[in-house]
Structure formats: C-alpha cells, structure tokens
C-alpha cells in the first residue's frame, strides 16, 4: 500500500535549505511507493495546526533550488520532553489522517531534537512513520557530519564581503578600527570564513575572535594598540558569541536574560560593545558592522557546491527512508579534497540532537601557516561555483513562493 510523505523546514534560513526541499520532492516524485507529497508550513507547527500543502505535482525544482530562505516557512517550536504530552497525540492524529509513512525534517541542532523526540515517541509502535532528519545550518555546528548545507554559501558571502570591507577601509591614512560582527553562538566556523582573506595569505582581518577561545578585553585593547604601530586601518572579525574567561557573553545585549524556546540567549551587539571599548580606551576613529541577516540568505553570492550537495542530501534522505532507515539523519563524509568529493550515509539521530561540532582546538592558533592552510583546505571546496539566477526584465532575482 502506498504511503504519503511529509517534509518540513525549521530553525534559521539559509541559501541552500530549499535545495534540500527540492531534492526531497524530486526523489519522492520518482518513487511508486510514495503517494502524495505534502509540505508542512512552518515546520512541525504545520502538522499541529493542519497547515499542509500538496507538493505532489510541483515541477519548478530548479527555481526552488535557487530560492533562498525557507519556501515552506519555519518555526522554533520545542516539543516537550514528556512523550506522554497531548501534543504528540495531536501530531500522530494528523499524520494518520494524511496516511503519512515518511516524515522528513530539514534543520539544525534544534530541528534534530524534534526528529529525535518523534522517533522515540513512535519507537515500537505498529505502522509507525519513518523519521528522517536532513541537516541544515549556516553555523556548521551540527555533529556527525563533515559540514552542513548552508554553511558553504554563508562562508562565501562572508569571505567576499570581508574582502570588500578590507578594500574600503584601506583608502584613508587615518588611524581607524572596523569591527565586523559575525553570527556564531558557540562555534566560530563562520568567523573563520570571514577570516579567509588573511588565511589565504593576506594581512587582514588583523584580529579574529571566535567563541571557542576565551576573550579578554584588556588583551584585545593591547592587540589593537600594537597593530596600530604598523598599520593605519585595523579590521577585526568577531563572533557574536565570544565569551570571557568566566564563560560570560561579551557585550551588554547578551546579558539581558532573554532566551528562545530552546533556551538559547538572544545575541547581538558585541560589535557595538567593542566599538565603544576602543573609542573609550584608544579614542581613534572606530565603527562596528553587524552583518546580521545578510549572511544567511544572500543567494547572489551563494555556492553552487553547497546547493547541489543540499539537493543530493534531500534525494538521499528519501532513498534512506524508503529503505526503512528511521530515527536517523543524513550525514556528509568528505572523501577527497583534490578533487573534492563526498559520500553520504546516515547516523543515529540521538548522536546528533542537541550536540555541537565546534572548531577544533588545533585550529586556535590562526597565525600558524600550517593551520591557515588546513582551514583553507576545509572551507574552500565548499564555496565553489555560482548559483544560476532566475531574473525578471529588471535584473532582479525571482523566487518560488508557495
């Protein structure tokens, strides 16, 4: 008997997450064992509130692959730890109503928490739907996989943008400091991408700060003073989640106590905090730049490698689900760097959910030339190629809107 498939997206958006959605649809449309294909609007909330759309006959897959953000919408809904909670019965009722045999969920750490809890809820139940997680996060901090869809495109945007900012700040013979705040709560992968102009043999950014390394404000000011002896224009790349030696976030906005549904502190403002610190301690011209949302969904600087891998992950997830794999997440294994190649497999969702892959300790010394080369070998294959564009008569990109 044919079973239907449902796919949802949750967490933060990226350039590549819709490519994974397109891969799911493409693979499911080719399978005789799958009946209808449903998209859940706003992640698991679409199941809870019966907000499903029929994607069975959707054909504009290439444009969907090139569409940034999340065509189905997102949510940050944390399912309760108590698997006896009524919300699970509601989800089960909707899945039965739509004859769902395959549940595929695209997202990051917190989204894998949803897949993990649903897998445990259905464990041992007769005729339980297959539960499969598909990775996504620009932060690249998802455990169990070499890298995550979305990171390559965000990394490319950051590397290109930082290179342009370096050019911009170099034009005046005036002592100045430019602080660029990059996303990254606990992991510095994105800040390493912003540091590529230096890691590839350049001089800037002059200072790079990632969350994995304790941050000292006094050492920072001393570094700035020392750099000013040899350069007029100092450029700094700093993760939003840097912490001091006590483990406290740097920057006043992180100390408000506000948290999201998953218990994460809302972060922003570390760049402004350091700007004021430099102004008060040194008194030179200083500005801070918070790239904010632009680093997530800038498809005009997206990576073709990122998008095509994401599409393949969606297709692989469908095949794995049809093979009966459940309570798993699709993961990427890097086979070779030159030429770059990967393979795909699945890992236990319990080994992924709520865990983080941080920048390894051996990469902390960013002045070491061998470390610089190793980081470049890791990141550069992920940012290769340009995404095809679908444009109107005015040269503006056109996207899929459900």
Judge whether 335 is annotated as a binding position.
no
Q: Active site residue: 139, 141, 206, 306, which one?
A: 139
Residue 219 appears among annotated catalytic residues: no
101 is in an annotated binding site: no
First to last CA, the chain: 29
The secondary structure of 274-298 as a DSSP string is HHHHHHHHT-SEEEEEE-TTHHHH-
Cα 122 to Cα 102: distance, rounded to the nearest angstrom: 12
Between CA 263 and CA 243 the distance in angstroms is: 17
Q: Is 287 one of the annotated binding-site residues?
A: no
Question: Is 92 marked within a binding site?
Answer: no
* 137 assigned binding-site residue: yes
Can you tell me the distance from the alpha carbon of 48 to that of 90, in angstroms, rounded to the nearest whole number? 6
Residue 240 in marked binding region: yes
Q: Which of 146, 109, 154, 139 is nearest to 15 (CA)?
A: 154
CB atoms within 10 A of CB 228: 17
Pair of tokens at residue 231: 């350069």
Q: Is 138 marked as binding a ligand?
A: yes
* Residue 184 assigned ligand-binding role: yes
Burial class (CB in 10 A: 0-12, 13-18, 19+), 1: exposed
170 contact partners, CB below 8 Å, separation of at least 6: 233
> Is the CB of residue 22 less than 8 Å from the CB of residue 311?
yes
Residue positions in the annotated binding site? 12, 109, 137-139, 183-185, 240
Which residue ranges make up the annotated binding site for diphosphate? Answer: 12
Residue numbers annotated as active site: 139
Binding-site members for Mg(2+) are: 109
């Amino acid at each position: 008997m044919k079973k239907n498939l449902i796919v949802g997206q949750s967490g933060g958006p990226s350039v590549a997450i819709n490519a994974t959605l397109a891969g799911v649809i493409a693979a499911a449309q080719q399978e005789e064992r799958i009946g209808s294909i449903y998209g859940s609007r706003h992640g698991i909330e679409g199941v809870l509130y019966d907000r499903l759309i029929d994607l069975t006959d959707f054909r504009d897959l290439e444009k969907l692959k090139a569409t940034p953000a999340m065509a189905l919408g997102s949510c940050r809904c944390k399912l309760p730890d108590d698997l006896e909670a009524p919300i699970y019965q509601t989800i089960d009722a909707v899945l039965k109503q739509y004859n769902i045999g395959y549940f595929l969920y695209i997202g990051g750490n917190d989204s894998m928490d949803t897949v993990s809890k649903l897998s445990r809820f259905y464990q041992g139940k007769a005729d339980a739907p297959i539960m499969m997680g598909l990775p996504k996060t620009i932060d690249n901090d998802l455990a169990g996989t070499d890298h995550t869809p979305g990171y390559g495109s965000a990394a490319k945007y950051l590397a290109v943008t930082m290179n342009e900012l370096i050019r911009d700040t170099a034009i005046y013979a005036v002592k100045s400091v430019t602080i660029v705040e990059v996303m990254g709560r606990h992991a510095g992968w994105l800040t390493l991408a912003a540091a590529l102009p230096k890691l590839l043999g350049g001089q800037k950014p002059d200072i790079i700060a990632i969350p994995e390394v304790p941050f000292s404000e006094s050492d920072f000011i001393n570094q700035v003073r020392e750099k000013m002896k040899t350069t007029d224009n100092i450029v700094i790349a700093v993760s939003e989640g840097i912490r001091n030696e006590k483990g406290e976030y740097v920057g006043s906005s992180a100390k408000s106590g506000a948290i999201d549904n998953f218990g994460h502190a809302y972060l922003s403002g570390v760049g402004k905090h350091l700007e004021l610190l430099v102004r008060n301690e040194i008194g030179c011209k200083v500005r801070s730049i918070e790239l904010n949302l632009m680093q997530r969904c800038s498809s005009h600087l997206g990576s073709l490698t990122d998008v095509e891998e994401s599409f393949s992950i969606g297709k692989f997830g469908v095949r794995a689900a049809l093979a009966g794999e459940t309570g798993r997440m699709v993961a990427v294994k890097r086979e070779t760097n030159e030429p770059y190649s990967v393979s795909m497999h699945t890992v236990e969702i319990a080994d992924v959910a709520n865990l983080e892959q941080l920048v390894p300790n051996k990469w902390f010394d960013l002045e070491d030339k061998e470390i610089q080369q190793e980081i470049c070998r890791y990141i550069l294959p992920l940012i290769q190629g340009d995404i095809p564009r679908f444009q109107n008569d005015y040269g503006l990109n056109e996207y899929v809107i459900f």
